[in-house]
Chain A
Amino acid sequence: MTETIAPAPQRRLDYDVIRELVAKGSRILDVGCGDGALMALLESSHGVRASGIEIDQKNVNNAVALGLSVVQGDADTDLANYPDDAFDYVILSQTLQATRDPRKVLENLLRIGRSCIVSFPNFGFWGVRLQLLVQGEMPTTGLLPDMWWSTSNIHFCTIRDFVVLCDEMGVTVERPIALNASGKRIPFNAPWWFWNLFGEQAVFLLRR
């Protein structure tokens, strides 16, 4: 049997976008790779050489048992060990908001990879704004399902915040993509405020 040994991929909307952005046969590092589903997808469809870092030991052991190259580690502390330009793409999928120092993590990602793909839930999404405005409670959504006291997400940001940070860091936003609540792409020519209001999540392709 020569079937892929990867886990059955979860339906993750940002994965579809990320798969479009990655070139075939490239070398990628997936930071916060979870159970390795994205790595497995990219290995089978794009023939990439994928490595991953994951903080949760159970996830790591499962991913390795499936034949993926994953290291147990913390994005906040362990990225410093990687050399410059070690990867074609470094991917940070739905993980930025869980890091202690997002800016430092981003700096490391852009140092390690020639390109960097970041996906994150947009805290400026209208549904989020509405929950806070109307109910006066910390919002919970499909992408942010945990209560404020149990979530590992500690640094929420909006699309606007992220663009401002990129600007401040002098990072080139090569391609921004925002997805609305039904997973559809927000038109390319829509203004930023529209993205920020109607994007439930965003995927950014960045370059130094």
Chain B
Amino acid sequence: MAETAVDGSAARPDSAEADLEARRRSEVDHPSSLVARFDNDPLTLDAGVSLPSWQIAYQTYGTLDAARSNAILLCHALTGDQHAANRHPVTGRAGWWDALVGPGKPVDTDHFFVICANVLGGCSGTTGPASTDPETGKPYGLSMPVVTVADMVRAQERLIRHLGIDTLFAVVGGSMGGMQVLEWGASFGDRVFAALPIATGSRHSPQNIAFHEVGRQSIMADPDWRGGRYLEEGLKPRKGLSVARMAAHITYVSEAALHRKFGRALQDRENVTFGFDADFQIESYLRYQGSTFVDRFDANAYLYLTRAMDYFDLARQHNGRVANAFRGTHTRWCVVSFTSDWLFPTTESRTIVHALNATGAQVSFVEIESDKGHDAFLLEEPEFHRAVRGFLTGAALARGIEPPVAAN
């Protein structure tokens, strides 16, 4: 863990930082992953406009079987990307779901063909506010229409069709990814055999919206944001984006985990300094989280994606009842929550389960005992991994796909 300033400018030589930024920037329009381009093949958005030309960047793992029946779509969370199980091209770090996705892992790439795409509105190769607008040759910035979770799913559906897959074996994802899973079940239910929404909700709570608003305001309050035109001016609202990440990060962890990891321990010193340095380890940790985030994420994309989550409300989309969203569903569902998740507490998952029950759906619901908070779905949680493996195995048996060897 490095001691860094709040703006993330660290003790890094300027040239190295510029190099990192250049690599990140180039991933926006020309990702090093696979990319599907839809030129003059418009994508209609909930905002009432459409993107005439757009692209979606993705990764695949494993092999699609001859019947095209073993495809799993992974939906990433707010700040994730398509690099679920490979080294990240910019940060060099392991994929965000390396713990779950791979040969012999719970999402077993020896048996399943796994697809993970960067979401619409993101900044890792799928069209978003950092992308170059083909009309103007400049980054979209705030001229990018606001996107919704349903728009993201629509874009994914186009990709899946492009890949020649009619019915997905499973759609799997946590947090914002879980919202996409729910949306898939609601909008394209007959093309999803199994759905696994994790640590998510049928809507964003007012408290969640409030935290997101703090993040957005801190980005927009950064003088380098320039009304969203920072890319054109060669700037970056580092301070604002870093603070946004710090605030959000607190919601991803639990009090118990913070206590266990940091307590009130001081950082590299015996006594408090009676100043505003990062005296406490937790402060230093948050600053580090903020600074590394700035290196890999775009500020405007953060505004767009948080907005998409805020707008998500399955009940509202379906005449006030979540159950209406799943009417007649034949999808096999497995809903997962974690005991210490206070961003999407178990009650939110129960709402989904009750709605699914009300439609007579085949549904599993597990609550995993964990003190790791919301982020538990990204971490090493053996019981969670066992549930994922078991659910996918049971579903594979039901679909007649050669299943992985069962958990023991």
Q: Which residues of A contact B (CB under 8 A)?
A: 1-2, 5, 49, 51, 57, 60-61, 64-73, 78, 81-83, 86-87
User: Among B159-167, B245-253, B307-315, B381-389, which stretch is in contact with chain A?
Assistant: B381-389
Query: Does B203 count as interface, using CB distance less than 8 angstroms?
Result: no
- How many contacts A-B (CB < 8 Å)? 80
**In the complex, which residues of chain B have a beta carbon less than 8 angstroms from the beta carbon of A57?**
366-367, 369
Chain B interface, DSSP helix/strand/loop, else mixed? mixed
B353, B358, B360, B407: which contacts A71 (Cβ < 8 A)? B353
Query: Does B394 count as interface, using CB distance less than 8 angstroms?
Result: yes
Q: CB-nearest residue of chain B relative to A79? A: B357
In the assembly, what is the distance between CA of A66 and CA of B360, in Å? 21
Per-residue CB contact flags for chain B residues 238-263 toward chain A (1 = under 8 Å, else 0) read 00000000000000000000000000
Q: CB-nearest residue of chain A relative to B405? A: A1
A91 to chain B, nearest CB (A): 16
B332 to chain A, nearest CB (A): 7
Per-residue CB contact flags for chain B residues 338-373 toward chain A (1 = under 8 Å, else 0) read 000000000000000110011110111111110000
B358, B363, B387, B397: which contacts A61 (Cβ < 8 A)? B387
Contact A82 B360 (CB under 8 A): yes
Contact B386 A86 (CB under 8 A): no
- Beyond A64-B364, A71-B365, whether A83 also contacts B387 by CB under 8 A is no
- Beyond A64-B387, A82-B360, A83-B358, whether A73 also contacts B393 by CB under 8 A is no
In the assembly, what is the distance between CA of A5 and CA of B332, in Å? 17
**In the complex, which residues of chain B have a beta carbon less than 8 angstroms from the beta carbon of A65?**
386-387, 389-390, 407
In the assembly, what is the distance between CA of A1 and CA of B408, in Å? 15
Query: Does B378 count as interface, using CB distance less than 8 angstroms?
Result: no
**In the complex, which residues of chain A have a beta carbon less than 8 angstroms from the beta carbon of B363?**
51, 69, 71
**In the complex, which residues of chain B have a beta carbon less than 8 angstroms from the beta carbon of A51?**
362-363
Q: Which residues of B contact A (CB under 8 A)?
A: 332, 334, 353-354, 357-360, 362-369, 383, 386-387, 389-391, 393-395, 397, 402-403, 405-407
Contact A81 B362 (CB under 8 A): no
Q: List 14 A-B contacts (CB under 8 A).
A: A5-B390, A5-B394, A51-B362, A61-B366, A61-B387, A64-B364, A65-B387, A65-B390, A66-B406, A67-B393, A68-B394, A71-B353, A83-B359, A83-B360
Q: CB-nearest residue of chain A relative to B334? A: A64
Q: CB-nearest residue of chain B relative to A65? A: B390
Contact B394 A81 (CB under 8 A): no
A2, A64, A78, A82: which contacts B366 (Cβ < 8 A)? A64
Contact A68 B362 (CB under 8 A): no
Apart from A5-B390, A67-B395, A83-B358, what 10 extra A-B contacts exist at CB < 8 Å? Answer: A2-B402, A5-B393, A60-B366, A61-B383, A64-B364, A65-B386, A67-B391, A72-B365, A81-B354, A83-B360
In the assembly, what is the distance between CA of A67 and CA of B391, in Å? 5
Contact B366 A81 (CB under 8 A): no
Contact B367 A82 (CB under 8 A): no
**In the complex, which residues of chain A have a beta carbon less than 8 angstroms from the beta carbon of B364?**
60, 64, 68-71
**In the complex, which residues of chain A have a beta carbon less than 8 angstroms from the beta carbon of B390?**
5, 64-67
In the assembly, what is the distance between CA of A49 and CA of B394, in Å? 12
Q: CB-nearest residue of chain A relative to B359? A: A83
A39 to chain B, nearest CB (A): 11
**In the complex, which residues of chain A have a beta carbon less than 8 angstroms from the beta carbon of B386?**
61, 65
Smallest CB-CB A-B distances: 7 pairs: A67-B394, A65-B390, A5-B406, A86-B360, A65-B386, A71-B365, A81-B354
